[in-house]
Amino acid sequence: MSTARILIIILVMTLCTYLPRALPLALFRKKIKSRYISSLLCYLPYGILAAMVFPSIFSSTASLISSIAGTLVALVLAWHRKSLLVVSVSACAAVFVVERLLDFLHIL
């Protein structure tokens, strides 16, 4: 694979990543007045973030069991309004501990 070819692919990728991010921000500069559309835009982030997390989170670690443990820890801490960092680090720690345990029991 030639260097020039890789550079061109990276350029195309850059455009195809930047344009979807930039166009709406460039075009929609005014507040949207429609009650329906502004409600939709208010709910949209939650719908999108939820779909990004589930079910992908269950295949984000080395085993389903450890990912369930991490998810539960994250849900409980988030429910108690812990900070992003605390939730995130605790979920990682839970996954780590459970995976060591599974390792020890020769399940992993």
Per CB under 8 A, contacts with other proteins among 6-45 are: 6-14, 16-18, 20-26, 28-29, 31-33, 35-45
Examine residue 64 and tell whether it contacts other proteins (CB under 8 A): no
Q: How far is the CB of 9 from other proteins (least distance, A)?
A: 5
Element (H, E) at 24: helix 3-27
Q: How far is the CB of 81 from other proteins (least distance, A)?
A: 5
Closer of 50 and 105 to other proteins (Cβ): 50
Amino acid at 4: A
Q: How far is the CB of 2 from other proteins (least distance, A)?
A: 10
Examine residue 78 and tell whether it contacts other proteins (CB under 8 A): yes
Alpha-carbon distances, residue 91 vs 61, 78, 86, 96 (angstroms): 11, 11, 8, 9
